[in-house]
Amino acid sequence: MKEQKDNKDGTKTNLHPRNKNREKYDLKGLVASVPELKKHIKLNQFGNESIDFSNPVAVRLLNKAILHFYYQIEYWEFPKQNLCPPIPGRAEYIHAIADVLKASNRGMLPKGNNITCLDIGTGASCIYPILGISAYDWKFIASDINQDSLTHARKNIESNHNLRGKVQFRFQEDVQNIFNGILTKEDTIDISICNPPFHSSIEEMTKGNKRKLSNLSGRKKGKTKLNFSGIDTELVYEGGEFEFIKKIIQESKYYGNSIHWFSSLVSRESNLKRLIRILNKEKPTKFSTINIKTGNKLSRILIWTFLSSKERDKWRTKRWNG
């Protein structure tokens, strides 16, 4: 989680207008929500109160406080070794796909139980379902290849009354599959989302984290910890994010009638052109990219569908406005 480029009033202009953290953090409110956060607040180089973003404990407490204060999430716990997601950035993805559904619904934002979203690799934090339910009251199917992660994810949902009953959890037994093995013939999904494993190896992950921490803290040497944590299955996949998204695309064509929109984050711009070439081979009826920027980091969301315009209209009428 990097600090955003702000206006003079503290507004993070890069963030979506519906992002709850577009305005300057209410540090007093955050500390009131999670008192342990107070000892991690310090003056930054500009003389303003801030958080040490190179400290994994501080990052975790900040995100926990954000969920509590801005989203009314009372319980959010998972093992320290699991990935701790930066809330404002994760919310950007949710708001972006909400806009995709809005554009498909003649400018009306679909909310409530009529919308089902599939979260591929939900992780122990279960952050995308939490944000999607909090913002739009959608339903979710959350999959993962790690049973322990699903156990913690389920507890995060069931321990909050405003989330309970909104998520189905499904274990993906085969690490080579994405949709196969977790979806049934009865499933009808409005959009799938994924934040794919970024690195292709443990070594690559370690080097990347050292570079990131050097930028955040100025430390050039010594041992480092992942400031957002993360177990291997959350961060590493053979071939990195390119191979993971390639697999999503290749499998998606077999589920084009039961999933309206497919999407995935693409962190590396160098992967985007190669992934678009793969998409062109699979012949979706429509695809596009959405840029999202948090702090100094620019990411892309790749979205596509295999439904014709008539089929999309029929979907809208039956599912969202019926």
Residue 287 has pLDDT above 70, yes or no: yes
Is pLDDT larger for residue 82 or for residue 215? Answer: 82
Euclidean distance between CA atoms 314 and 287, whole angstroms: 19
pLDDT in the model for residue 232: 55
Instruction: Work out the mean pLDDT of the chain and round it to a whole number.
Output: 88
User: Average of pLDDT values for 136-153?
Assistant: 97
Which among 198, 201, 241, 205 has a CA at the least distance from the CA of 224?
205
Euclidean distance between CA atoms 166 and 231, whole angstroms: 26
Is pLDDT larger for residue 237 or for residue 152? Answer: 152
Domain ranges of the chain: 79-320
Residue 266 has pLDDT above 90, yes or no: yes
Euclidean distance between CA atoms 195 and 16, whole angstroms: 18
H or E stretch covering 238: none
pLDDT range class, residue 265, cuts 50, 70, 90: very high
Residue 38's φ and ψ, nearest 5 degrees, are -55, -40
Euclidean distance between CA atoms 146 and 127, whole angstroms: 16
Is pLDDT larger for residue 161 or for residue 228? Answer: 161
pLDDT in the model for residue 81: 86
Report the SS3 class of residue 54: coil
CB of 192 closer than 8 Å to CB of 263: yes
Is pLDDT larger for residue 315 or for residue 2? Answer: 315
Residue 211 has pLDDT above 80, yes or no: no
pLDDT range class, residue 127, cuts 50, 70, 90: very high
Alpha helices in the chain (DSSP H): 27-33, 56-71, 87-104, 127-136, 147-158, 202-217, 232-235, 240-252, 269-282, 309-315
pLDDT range class, residue 227, cuts 50, 70, 90: very low
CB of 118 closer than 8 Å to CB of 259: yes
List pLDDT tens digits, range 234-247. 556 677 899 999 99
Q: Who's near 228: CB < 8 A, 6+ residues apart?
A: 1, 56, 59, 83, 84, 85, 86
List pLDDT tens digits, range 32-57. 999 999 999 998 888 888 888 889 99
pLDDT range class, residue 296, cuts 50, 70, 90: confident
Residue 106 has pLDDT above 50, yes or no: yes
pLDDT in the model for residue 228: 46
Paired with 286 in beta bridges are 305
Euclidean distance between CA atoms 291 and 272, whole angstroms: 12
Size (the chain), residues: 322
pLDDT in the model for residue 149: 95
pLDDT range class, residue 213, cuts 50, 70, 90: very low
Paired with 194 in beta bridges are 120
**32 class by beta-carbon count within 10 Å (0-12 exposed, 13-18 middle, 19+ buried):** middle
79-320 has CATH 3.40.50.150 classification: yes
Euclidean distance between CA atoms 318 and 302, whole angstroms: 26
